[in-house]
Amino acid sequence: MSQTQSTAYCHRRMRAALDAVRNGIPVVLMDDGDRENEADLIVAAERLTEQTMAQLIRDGSGIVCLCMTDEDLRRLRLPPMVEKNESAHGTAFTVTIEARHGVTTGVSASDRLTTIQAAIHPDARPEDLVRPGHVFPLRAHPGGVLARRGHTEGAVCLSRLAGLRPAGVLCELMNPDGTMMRGAQVAAYADAHGLPVLTIDDLVACTSAPVPVC
């Protein structure tokens, strides 16, 4: 495949993914094989529904993360979870959160959705959230996928490219037996649910391309 054909193919995949993002449909995002080698379900935070949240919890690890920019997390006064991040890939967790109002235990799909909606509201204030909680915010690297090839940066990148608030929700795909989905398992899941599949490589290529993606 020539460079021109490769770029065109990348853009077609991106357009399909961005259409899904704008419509609140999850995108399956795979990272590098020599990194986590995992696939995450990614949804734009402002398009998330209770039904989709339930899908993330049911088909994923249950650790639902809200990926946001450093600017927004600073505004909400959400500090890093630990002073010294010793995570293998530098995953930038902040303290966990819960909506101050409108939730019960904070665990249900409805409660976690309420928490995310509270956090991403344009007028959200630190006092709108309590700490700790059942939603895991992640701080995206300011340089995006070009600086850090992670699902966190991919989630924010997809939401931003779709013309939405730069905030995405993710959860790692998991098999019923508790192992992580990989390879053919990911492809089969995406096909069964009619979901677009992207890789971090796709995002890097399209973000770097001289021709606009959308």
Annotated binding site for D-ribulose 5-phosphate: 35-36, 40, 148-152
* Binding positions for Mg(2+): 36, 151
* Binding positions: 35-36, 40, 148-152
Residue 27 and residue 196 in contact, taking contact as beta carbons nearer than 8 Å = yes
